[in-house]
Amino acid sequence: MEGNRKLISPFHRPRCLAAAAPGGKAKLTHPGKAILAGGIAGGIEICITFPTEYVKTQLQLDEKANPPKYRGIGDCVKQTVQGHGVRGLYRGLSSLLYGSIPKSAVRFGVFEYLSNHARDEAGKLNSTRGLLCGLGAGVMEAVVIVCPMETVKVKFIHDQSSANPKYRGFYHGVREIIRTQGIKGTYQGLTATVLKQGSNQAIRFYVMTSLRNWYKGDNPNKAINPVVTGTFGAVAGAASVFGNTPLDVIKTRMQGLESHKYKSTLDCALKIMRHEGVRAFYKGTVPRLGRVCLDVAIVFIIYEEVVKVLNTVWKTE
């Protein structure tokens, strides 16, 4: 019996592993590679998609309480180009670009760090753990990068729509905000931002993890075509838009130049509901849907491809 156990045991385990994962144990992505690849992906993505972000923010700030300035997406683009030229659609890009690179770097770095510790023996990450890792990544990026970055961006865009713009550029704007409001002035709407980013990344990574696991089946190392990655990313982006657009609207209001009208995140939500109705929570959904689907698809494609390149020049195993 003892001899049989010694003979059977060594051959028994490889057979089980082969059945569970024909491609062997899933390869893990080093957090350092994730940070670098994420930063590159974030920088390229925001340069491509910023005009739709600009339009979305303008429509959300165009409150019904005042006579609406814009009649829709097309009118917003038309008025902006007529008043400021095509470059007007890129006003505020610098503030978002300075934050987009570290935001994406933090997001992917934290996600890979957490997911590397959450995988099973075969290196597989299930959907629930993918959701939790995405939540952790979203909360971290919200606190460290997104809240101050988004506050400055919204103030810049809102400032442009005023009769006498007071910010001459990124550094001047940041300096003026801190001078007049202190560091707290760059952290307006923190609660709404944490809720938005946390739910955003939780939904996106849950969908991406689910679709990847479905596509790879029993082979965790099965290659995924960039087109497939982009399609999965677009689906994940759409899911996050419909899941948390109300939080995005609240966050934008809390970070605008008229944020003083609201005592808290809850007060902002209640006032929007009372004065503008439920539909106001979905203002800017269409331009946001187009931007986010493209955004998430581009980011995941570039991220995955950059990681592949880094794996050939940066050996971490």
Per-residue H/E/C for 199-242: HHHHHHHHHHHHHHHHHHCCCCCCCCCHHHHHHHHHHHHHHHHH
pLDDT band for position 64 (cuts 50, 70, 90) = low
Statement: the pTM of the whole predicted model exceeds 0.85: no
Residue 300 has pLDDT above 70, yes or no: yes
- Residue 19 CB partners (closer than 8 Å, separation 6+): 218
**Within this chain, do residues 181 and 194 fall inside the same structural domain, yes or no?**
no
Number of folded domains that form the chain:
3
Average pLDDT over every residue of 208-235: 94
Asked whether residue 194 falls in the same domain as residue 243, the answer is yes
Determine the structural domain holding residue 289 and report its residue range. Answer: 189-305
Instruction: Identify the band that residue 236 occupies on the pLDDT scale cut at 50, 70 and 90.
Output: very high
Question: Do residues 284 and 235 share a domain?
Answer: yes
Lowest-confidence segment of 21-30, 71-80, 93-102 by average pLDDT? 21-30
User: Are residues 244 and 137 located together in one domain of the fold?
Assistant: no
Q: What per-residue string of b and e applies to 95-130 under the rule 16 or more CB within 10 Å gives b?
A: bbbbbbbbbbbbbbbbbbbbbbeebeeebbbebebb
Pair of tokens at residue 220: 């965790």
Is the domain of 198 the same as that of 300?
yes
Residue 265 is predicted with a pLDDT of 83
